[in-house]
Amino acid sequence: MNIIMPESFNKRSLAYRQLTDAEYVERSQGAVVYRIKADTSNYPSLLDLSLVSRTGLRGANAEEHLQQMGLPIPVKPNQSSVGDNGELILRLSQKEFWLLDGLTNEEDSIDKFNQHERPADNCYSLFCQDSHAWFMLTGPYLADIMAKLCGVDLRDTAFPLGAIAQTSIARINAIIVSHEINSTPVFSILSDSASAEYLWCALLDAIQEFGGSVGGLSKLYSIT
């Protein structure tokens, strides 16, 4: 039996040392938690998706380039949209866009976009895969959990699906996205990689008050 562990790969999440009793699956040339062995609850879960594929573009021609690839582009900054394969398109400013893997199945939905030739002028790659950690909260009480760490109102009425907040969480600059994975409401949280372990511990402490714990991809879909 081939047992997948983070130490088997050169790429590892900066928070992987905080993960114990986990079963992993290979994804994006690294080991991502599939499930926590002892987790049988439906309470809030905290997922570490830092190794899951994402990319970014900035520049005057970035929007046109993404449109040519057939992606739905959010109308204005701090909005997100979902592509045909579940990929998430974040518009962080008029000229800056991030693409996150949709996680709707085990296929990498971002790799094909990295293979497209970019315009020669005014369209530059952003290396958000390495610069930022990606954590996700799923389950009930999402806004209540975040209220312990963030001053922004993240309740549905103020922060609907597709909304983005560029704000501070536990005094760390972060991007929060409200979206769905396989009809499951989630918050994606992207923050500077240098603060990954600190933010992970802060989020874990916040969800434990609501009976939450660490989870894995099995919370979002089943791998066959």
CATH number at residue 214: 3.30.1360.120
Report pLDDT for 3. 66
- Cα dist. 137→159, 186, 215, 217 in Å? 15, 6, 9, 12
pTM higher than 0.85: yes
Residues 212 and 159 grouped into a single domain: yes
Tell me: do 151 and 205 sit in the same domain: yes
Please report, rounded to a whole number, the percentage of residues in the chain having pLDDT higher than 90. 50
* Residue span of the structural domain in which 193 resides: 6-52+131-219
Above 60 in pLDDT, residue 191? Answer: yes
Q: How far is CA 87 from CA 33, 73, 200, 220, in A?
A: 20, 12, 24, 14
Q: Mean pLDDT in the chain?
A: 86
Q: Is residue 224 part of a domain?
A: no
Q: Are residues 88 and 159 in the same domain?
A: no
In this structure, are 44 and 75 located in the same domain? no
